[in-house]
Amino acid sequence: EVQLEESGGGLVQPGGSLRLSCAASGFTFSIYAMNWVRQAPGKGLEWVSVIGASVSVTYYADSVKGRFTISRDNSKNTLYLQMQSLRAEDTAVYYCAKAQYSATWKRGFDPWGQGTLVTVSS
Amino acid sequence: QSALTQPASVSGSPGQSITISCTGTSSDVGGYDYVSWYQQHPGKAPKLIIYDVSNRPSGVSNRFSGSKSGNTASLTISGLQAEDEADYYCSSHAGSTTLLFGGGTKLTVL
């Protein structure tokens, strides 16, 4: 069974940093692009970032570019999101999501983890 | 880039059909056949129900169908059931480096 489990969320002050992790199991992690998607409380989904299977390709939403860094460790089947200069508007549940197909990240995300809550507040 | 436009809410009675629209531009929905739809129940993670405009992943009911015309994609749910009550989100690629989501539509089964 394919499983994704996020961790690392919590309360952080504005301007602070946090690193999220997503542990993957049940599939060949190294051949799939992986994504982070967030959802502010009571709001809709917002795509945050994607990393290709080969780690050389990374893309970011304009709202996090320059502050967030996506990475992966294929030897540990783990995806990361390093978040810096955090703002109140970054408060959200952060989901990791696997690309449905190994050849591209464009054909849907399946499955998603259960998410980890990040709260940015003083 | 702005989020894709979805109606905030739709409703229908059990057994009926409903359609949720997702409107973008020629730079996203209209320009690529990479539209996906997700179902999200309260407190749960989103679930992929349609990809590539009209394809269903294995295990998804054939009551769910997708289509696209110009800059607007649509999700149709036929034979509405109580378990279909959820939030629905569309997504589309906008170029090779960006993905957009719609604002979400709350489906109420009356």
pLDDT tens digits, B3-46: 899 999 999 999 999 999 999 999 999 999 999 999 999 999 99
Average model confidence (pLDDT) for chain B? 96
| pLDDT mean over B59-82 | 98
Q: Give B3→chain A minimum CA distance, Å.
A: 9
> Can you give the three-state secondary structure of chain A, one letter per residue?
CCEEEEECCEEECCCCCEEEEEEEECCCHHHCCEEEEEECCCCCEEEEEEECCCCCCEEECCCCCCCEEEEEECCCCEEEEEECCCCHHHCEEEEEEEEEECCEEEEEEEEECCCEEEEECC
Report whether pLDDT(B49) > 90: yes
- Determine whether B77 is exposed, middle or buried from the number of CB atoms within 10 Å of its CB (0-12, 13-18, 19+): buried
| pLDDT mean over A72-100 | 97
Residues 18-77 of B with CB under 8 A from A: 32, 34, 36, 38, 40, 44-48, 50-52, 57
Q: Do A107 and B34 touch (CB under 8 A)?
A: yes
d(CA B26, CA B72): 10
Q: Give A109→chain B minimum CA distance, Å.
A: 7
d(CA A107, CA B110): 33
| pLDDT mean over B40-69 | 97
Residue B82 has what pLDDT?
97
Residue A55 has what pLDDT?
65
Q: Give B80→chain A minimum CA distance, Å.
A: 23
Q: Do A108 and B3 touch (CB under 8 A)?
A: no
Residue A103 has what pLDDT?
82
| pLDDT mean over A2-28 | 97
| pLDDT mean over A50-75 | 93
Residue B2 has what pLDDT?
79
Maximum CA extent, chain A: 43
Residue A54 has what pLDDT?
77
Reported as half-sphere exposure (CB side, CA atoms, 13 A), residue B56 has a value of: 13
Q: Could you tell me the two tokens for B79?
A: 């034979």
Residue B13 has what pLDDT?
97
Residue B95 has what pLDDT?
86
Q: What angle do CA B88, B90, B94 make, to 5 degrees?
A: 165
